[in-house]
């Protein structure tokens, strides 16, 4: 296995193979097989572009040949920061066929996140789009190539300037060395952990299992027309079941440039979309928009919602407003996926986050001493299974804390389990703020803020928010002249922080409430600030 990754123990490998979770088929081959079965069927749609399975397959091969000519090969990491455009998929499959490993950054990430990802992964190339939603990625690429010596190439979808144009990076397809399905296929970003974002190795076998079984749980078929409204670099629309789930069954993926109701409703009507996936704040926006929109949304059968807790009241409004069913999804880039079954009674769909995808997702719900809680009680969810990682990439020290000795991942989520097995997410023990599905790593932002000349000490806490569930408040002990939110956020932006991580509020305080051990009492602090 790729250096810096933790493999499953041999007995688990045997078991997951025997039980058919791991089928030994690399992800690049999944597309190849579908292109053989249904070459002319529409694989993906973006604006005016419509690629059949044969076309996507051919483009991936030609791009793989072009990338090989640049010296990109098995095991090398490539930092990919692309929005929802067709090239995302030709590139992804090209890399997968080469055995090179995409590291998927989100379009919203900026220099702060990208430098960390490029350095940690020692990426040899960085792939961007020229511009998206008014942001030019090429200056970012210039800065990054100067800072990270491992980066040898920048490839650009669109106007390449001094870099390599993705469309010119094509060669004559040639046989490539076989890819081992047990190897790492992609590195995903962790949203769920304390400290700087970590990288999650997902193997061909485990990620194919993830997408295939998720597609089954969501009733995907060759008739599925899935709208990717969320950024496809994220595990939810990428493979849970998302794009990979669609490609595995010969359905059609329709790419939406951004998830506003205006844009999405046009596409739902025009492309007769059957399934899509959203995070909870977007559900609320869509529900409002649907009440005055005259778009024909009648093709929509299922809306999948996950990433953060969906309120039962909002859940109940979905069918009346959008005319489709709701499926709750509780997932994590680390692996475990839970879905409410399609035939579940309404109250379970509204009130729970579903059942684990497979019988071999081993779930433990434990207290602070790692002891199982009483049935039905709230505890931290630990998980081990055929598509859940055994260790973060190049993170030996953090892995000691993030995993139990017998290989369970500590999710940091507080859950309880109903007698039916359904899980309900009740809260969180880890230091992450979940801003409507977007994850903010508290420690990382605090460390940045500590560098601000006016800030002596800082604690970033979550405040309850009607729309987002949580938003972030930077509580600071400060020096004169006292900082304000606008100037601090301008300062953070200059340091290249993604916009969704900027504090929503800044509160200057004289002191922090402390615990008996003398640490900042974050709970008391959040309550105190919320009451101001
Ligand atoms: C998804 O993945 P990540 O990696 O961005 O974030 C995972 C964390 C979970 O540990 C949990 O804290 C939270 O996001 N979460 C939910 C939730 N779904 C995820 N909290 C409450 N209710 C839910 N339904 O967010 C993700 C990955 C695949 C599918 C769906 C979501």
Using the predicted structure, report yes or no on whether residue 196 has a pLDDT greater than 90. no
DSSP 168: G
Determine the Cα–Cα distance for residues 340 and 72; give it in Å rounded to an integer: 41
> For residue 437, which atom of ligand 1 is closest to its CA?
25
Q: CB of 198 closer than 6 A to ligand 1?
A: no
Q: 3-class SS at 46?
A: strand
Spell out a b/e string for 346-370, using b for 16 or more CB atoms within 10 Å of the CB, else e: eebbbebbbbbbbebbbbbbbeeee
Q: Measured in angstroms, how far is the CA atom of residue 297 from the centroid of ligand 1?
A: 27
CA of 343 to the centre of ligand 1 (A): 22
Residue nearest to atom 25 of ligand 1 (CA): 307
Cβ pair 80, 92 in contact under 8 A? yes
Mean pLDDT to the nearest integer, 499-505: 97
Per-residue pLDDT averaged across 142-147, rounded?
A: 98
Write a three-state SS string for 130-143. Answer: CEECCEECHHHHHH
Ligand 1 center–CA 68 separation, angstroms: 36
Domains 53-179 and 217-428 share a fold: yes
Q: How many angstroms does the Cα of residue 328 sit away from the middle of ligand 1?
A: 11
Q: What pLDDT was estimated at residue 357?
A: 98
Contact 184, 26 (CB under 8 A): no
Mutate to test the pocket of ligand 1, among 188, 229, 307 (most ligand atoms within 8 A of CB): 307
Q: Counting atoms of ligand 1 from 1, which one is nearest the CA of 304?
A: 30
Distance from the CA of 340 to the center of ligand 1, in angstroms?
Answer: 14
3-state secondary structure of 101: strand
Strands (DSSP E) found in 182-237:
184-189, 199-203, 225-228
Our mutation pick for probing the ligand 1 site, out of 306, 336, 416, 433, counting the most ligand atoms within 8 A of Cβ, is 306
The CA 250 to ligand 1 mean position distance, Å, reads 27
How much is the mean pLDDT over the chain? 97
Nearest to 312 by CA among 337, 276, 283, 271: 283
Ligand 1 nearest-atom number relative to CA 188:
4
The total of other beta-carbon atoms located within 10 Å of residue 86's CB is: 22
CATH number for 432-530 (one of 3.40.50.300, 3.40.30.10, 3.30.300.30, 1.10.10.10): it is: 3.30.300.30
For ligand 1, the distance from its centroid to the CA atom of residue 526, given in whole angstroms, is 23
- Measure CA of the first residue to CA of the last residue in the chain; give whole Å: 53
Which class does domain 53-179 fall in? alpha beta
Cβ–ligand 1 contact at 438 (below 6 Å): no
- Nearest CA to 289 out of 312, 311, 268, 310 is that of 268
Q: Are 297 and 269 in contact (CB under 8 A)?
A: yes
Dihedral of the alpha carbons of 510, 530, 463, 432, in degrees to the nearest 10: 40
Read off the DSSP letter of residue 78. E
pLDDT-derived band at 192 (thresholds 50, 70, 90) equals low
Pocket lining: 308 vs ligand 1, CB cutoff 6 Å: yes
pLDDT at 191 (0 to 100): 83
Would you say residue 193 has pLDDT above 80?
Answer: no
130/140 Cα distance (integer angstroms): 10
Domain limits, the chain: 53-179, 217-428, 432-530
Given a contact cutoff of 8 angstroms between Cβ atoms, the answer to whether 433 and 505 are in contact is no
Q: Is any ligand 1 atom within 6 A of the Cβ of residue 309?
A: yes
Check residue 460 and give its pLDDT.
97
User: What is the whole-number distance in angstroms between the Cα of residue 409 and the centre of ligand 1?
Assistant: 14
Q: What band does 187 get if pLDDT is binned at 50, 70 and 90? A: very high
Q: List the residue whose alpha carbon is closest to atom 3 of ligand 1.
A: 332
Tell me whether strands 469-478 and 455-465 are parallel, antiparallel or unpaired. antiparallel
Beta bridge partners of 155: 127, 164
Q: Is 439 near ligand 1, meaning CB less than 6 Å away?
A: yes
pLDDT number for residue 156? 98
Positive or negative: CA dihedral 42, 45, 48, 52 = negative
- 228 pLDDT more than 70: yes
> Topology of 217-428 in CATH?
Rossmann fold (3.40.50)
Task: Spell out the alpha helix ranges (H) of 26-126.
Answer: 27-37, 53-69, 87-98, 111-121
Q: How many A from CA of 514 to the centre of ligand 1?
A: 30
**Beta carbon of 217 within 6 Å of any ligand 1 atom:** no
Averaged pLDDT, 50-68:
98
Mean pLDDT to the nearest integer, 386-402: 97
Instruction: Report the pLDDT averaged over residues 254-273.
Output: 98
Burial tier of 414 (Cβ tally within 10 Å: 0-12, 13-18, 19+): middle
- Model-wide pTM > 0.85: yes
Question: What pLDDT was estimated at residue 197?
Answer: 84
pLDDT at position 97 is 98
pLDDT in tens, 414-455: 999 999 999 999 999 988 999 999 999 999 999 999 999 999
Given a cut of 70, whether residue 366 has pLDDT beyond it is yes
Distance 336 CA to ligand 1 centre (A): 9
Residue 267 has pLDDT above 80, yes or no: yes
Q: Report the separation in Å between the CA atom of 308 and the middle of ligand 1, taken as the mean of its atom positions.
A: 6
Ligand 1 and 197: CB distance under 6 A: no
Task: Look at residue 411 in the predicted model and tell me its pLDDT.
Answer: 97
Alpha helices (runs of H) in 134-186, residue ranges in sequence order: 138-147
């Amino acid at each position: 296995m790729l250096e810096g990754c933790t493999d499953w123990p041999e007995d688990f490998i045997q078991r997951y193979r025997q039980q058919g979770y791991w089928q030994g088929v690399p992800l690049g081959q999944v597309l190849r097989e579908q292109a053989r079965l249904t070459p002319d069927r529409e694989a993906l749609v973006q604006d005016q572009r419509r690629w059949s399975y044969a076309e996507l397959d051919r483009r991936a091969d030609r791009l793989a040949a072009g990338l090989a000519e640049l010296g990109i090969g098995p095991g090398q990491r490539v930092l990919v920061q692309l929005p929802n455009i067709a090239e995302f998929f030709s590139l992804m499959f090209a890399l997968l066929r080469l055995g090179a490993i995409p590291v998927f950054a989100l379009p919203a990430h900026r220099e702060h996140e990208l430098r960390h990802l490029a350095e940690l992964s020692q990426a040899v190339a960085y792939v961007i789009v020229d511009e998206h939603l008014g942001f030019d990625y090429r200056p970012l690429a210039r800065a990054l190539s100067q800072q990270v010596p491992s980066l040898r190439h920048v490839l650009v979808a669109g106007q390449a300037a001094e870099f390599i144009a993705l469309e010119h990076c094509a060669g004559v397809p040639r046989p490539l060395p076989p890819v081992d399905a047990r190897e790492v296929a992609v590195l995903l970003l962790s949203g769920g952990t304390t400290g700087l974002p970590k990288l999650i190795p997902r193997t061909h076998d485990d990620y194919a299992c993830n997408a295939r079984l998720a597609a089954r749980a969501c009733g995907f078929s060759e008739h599925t027309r899935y709208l990717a409204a969320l950024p496809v670099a994220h595990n939810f629309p990428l493979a849970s079941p998302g794009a990979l789930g669609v490609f595995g069954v010969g359905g059609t993926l329709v790419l939406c440039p951004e998830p506003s109701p205006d844009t999405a409703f046009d596409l739902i009507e025009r492309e007769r979309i059957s399934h899509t996936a959203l995070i909870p704040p977007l559900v609320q926006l869509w529900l409002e928009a649907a009440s005055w929109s005259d778009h024909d949304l009648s093709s929509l059968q299922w809306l999948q919602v996950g990433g953060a807790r969906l309120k039962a009241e909002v859940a109940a409004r979905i069918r009346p407003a959008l005319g489709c069913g709701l499926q709750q999804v509780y997932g994590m880039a680390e692996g475990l996926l839970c879905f409410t079954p399609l035939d579940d009674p309404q109250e379970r769909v509204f009130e729970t986050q579903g059942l684990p995808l497979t019988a071999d997702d081993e779930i433990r719900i434990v207290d602070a001493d790692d002891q199982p809680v009483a049935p039905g009680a709230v505890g931290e969810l630990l998980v081990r299974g055929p598509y859940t990682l055994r260790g973060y990439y190049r993170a030996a020290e953090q892995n000691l804390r993030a995993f139990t000795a017998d290989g369970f991942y500590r999710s940091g989520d507080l859950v309880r389990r109903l007698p039916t097995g359904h899980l309900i997410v009740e809260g969180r023990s880890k230091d992450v703020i979940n801003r409507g599905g977007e994850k903010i790593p508290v420690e990382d932002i605090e460390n940045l803020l500590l560098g601000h000349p006016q800030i002596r000490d800082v604690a970033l806490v979550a405040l309850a928010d009607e729309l987002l569930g949580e938003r972030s408040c930077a509580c600071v002990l400060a020096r004169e002249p006292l900082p304000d939110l606008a100037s601090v956020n301008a300062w953070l932006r200059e340091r290249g922080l993604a916009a969704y991580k900027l504090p929503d509020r800044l509160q200057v305080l004289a002191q922090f409430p402390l615990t008996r051990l003398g640490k900042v009492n974050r709970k008391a602090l959040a309550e105190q600030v919320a009451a101001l």
